[in-house]
Amino acid sequence: MSLEIKIPAVGESITSGLLSVWHKKDGDAVGAGEALFTLETDKVSTEITAEKAGVLKITAAAGSEVKIGETVGTIEEGRATAKAAPASAAQTHDDKSDARTTHGAVEPPAREQPKTPAVSIPAGVARESFEAPAAPSLSAAVAAANLSLSTLSENTAPVAEGRSTRKKMSPLRRKIAQQLVMAQHTAAILTTFNECDMSAVMSLRASQQEAFTKEHGVKLGFMSFFIKATVSALKACPAINGRMDGDDFVQNHYFDLGVAVGTERGLVVPVIRDADQKSFADIERDLAAYAVKAREGKIKIEDLQGGVFTLSNGGIYGSLLSTPILNPPQSGILGMHKIQERPVAEKGQVVIRPMMYLALSYDHRVVDGKEAVTFLIRVKDGIENPVRLMLGL
């Protein structure tokens, strides 16, 4: 007796996905609950597990576009023989991917990558922003969970064309492209800038880090300060915490803030819920929890939905200044950048301070320039006076 392996529904409005990699070979014995393959959609990637034990028969090759409800294989009752069955067309495709070359160096197959490979850490304002004890940063964990996935999905069936190579974009990359173009076409995006002195935050973190970590079991990062400063600024400029809906303006009275994180497979924006009601420790725990979920490949669509405002940091890559693009249907996004020591005037003297440029991109249809400038000044004030943020002032 056999059980069909069908593509399950993984979220509203999702009708298809990419079967990016099989974690088992054709003819392998599988146990109930074991991961069979990874399904990549335009929002998240999901590991699909076996419903019962048996022998796997693959009918859809890795790299195939599949529809919800489509059968991609079967699980036959019984035990795998000592000699593996002849490879199917799907497995032949998989075998050809067993070694890939990057700049002349042959690497092992993606499915054999360790779960936490060494990758760059594009986290919050600094690497410490998403650090948790005995766990990687959020962005590092996301990248680790998706490294092998991105290698296969974004390099599916490359076709050499003389001096160039054509390859199919992943569903997530296509979705990102659509969102960015839509934002440019549907909103009147304008960006305004300011800068903030990071001295006070850096000093406070250095003096309180040990006690904070001992008390709460998680490190005090930079990102929690920016989240709190953003909440304060949104309260002062409520129009930014809203969105256009046809001819109506929808005002949000809650503060679910998305934190944009760059990964190997594209941008993901996990959401910190009710940030206004949470302490610094609560926010850091949320970030640490996302790190664990990302490392284990368990980030869900719900984790990425419902944000009213986004924070994005390009400083970890060395970006000194940029103009972030809105995350529709939101009306604002705060861009943070590299902390760089620069000469500044202070009380008539030239001093060296660790400075950061801030950029607020906003929808000028609903947000006026005065509100945008007020917002950035409020963020700047919070970062330069972090004790006030911690006291809720």
User: Is residue 150 a part of any domain in this protein?
Assistant: no
Q: Retrieve residue 188's tokens.
A: 């009147």
Q: How far apart are CA 199 and CA 275, in angstroms?
A: 24
Q: Retrieve residue 124's tokens.
A: 């919050």
CB 164 within 8 A of CB 258: no
Do 293 and 378 share a domain, yes or no?
A: yes
Q: How far apart are CA 313 and CA 122, in angstroms?
A: 8
22-36, 77-91, 153-167, 275-289: lowest mean pLDDT where?
77-91
> For 255-274, b where at least 16 C-beta lie within 10 A, e where not — what string?
bbbbbbbbbbbbbbbbbbee
Do 215 and 358 share a domain, yes or no?
A: yes
What percent of the chain has pLDDT above 90? 46
Residue where a domain terminates, one of 97, 118, 149: 97
Range among 5-14, 162-171, 260-269 with highest mean pLDDT value: 162-171
Please, which residues bridge with residue 31 across strands? none
Question: Looking at the annotation, which residues are catalytic?
Answer: 364, 368
What percent of the chain has pLDDT above 70? 76
- CATH for 49: 2.40.50.100
Do 215 and 363 share a domain, yes or no?
A: yes
Do 83 and 223 share a domain, yes or no?
A: no
Return the DSSP state at 20: E
Do 251 and 385 share a domain, yes or no?
A: yes
Is this prediction's pTM over 0.75? Answer: no
Give the pLDDT band of residue 220 (cuts 50, 70, 90). Answer: very high
Do 181 and 330 share a domain, yes or no?
A: yes
What per-residue confidence (pLDDT) applies to 217? 94
Burial, 15: exposed, middle or buried (Cβ in 10 Å; 0-12, 13-18, 19+)?
Answer: exposed
Q: Retrieve residue 234's tokens.
A: 């949104």
Q: How far apart are CA 157 and CA 310, in angstroms?
A: 35
Residue ranges making up the domain that contains 37: 2-97
Task: For the chain, give the mean pLDDT.
Answer: 80
Residue where a domain terminates, one of 97, 120, 140: 97
- CATH for 287: 3.30.559.10
pLDDT at 147 over 60: no
How many structural domains does the chain have? Answer: 2
29-38, 135-144, 324-333: lowest mean pLDDT where?
135-144
Q: How far apart are CA 318 and CA 120, in angstroms?
A: 12
User: Is residue 61 a part of any domain in this protein?
Assistant: yes
Give the pLDDT band of residue 161 (cuts 50, 70, 90). Answer: confident
What per-residue confidence (pLDDT) applies to 1? 76
Do 65 and 194 share a domain, yes or no?
A: no
Residue where a domain terminates, one of 97, 130, 162: 97
- Name the more confident of 205 and 169: 205
Return the DSSP state at 52: S
What per-residue confidence (pLDDT) applies to 13? 61
Output the CA–CA distances (angstroms, integers) from residue 375 to 338, 351, 361, in the order listed.
Answer: 20, 26, 11
DSSP 329-352: T-SEEEEE---EEEEEEETTEEEE
Do 191 and 320 share a domain, yes or no?
A: yes
What per-residue confidence (pLDDT) applies to 132? 40
User: Is residue 306 a part of any domain in this protein?
Assistant: yes
Amino acid at 13: S
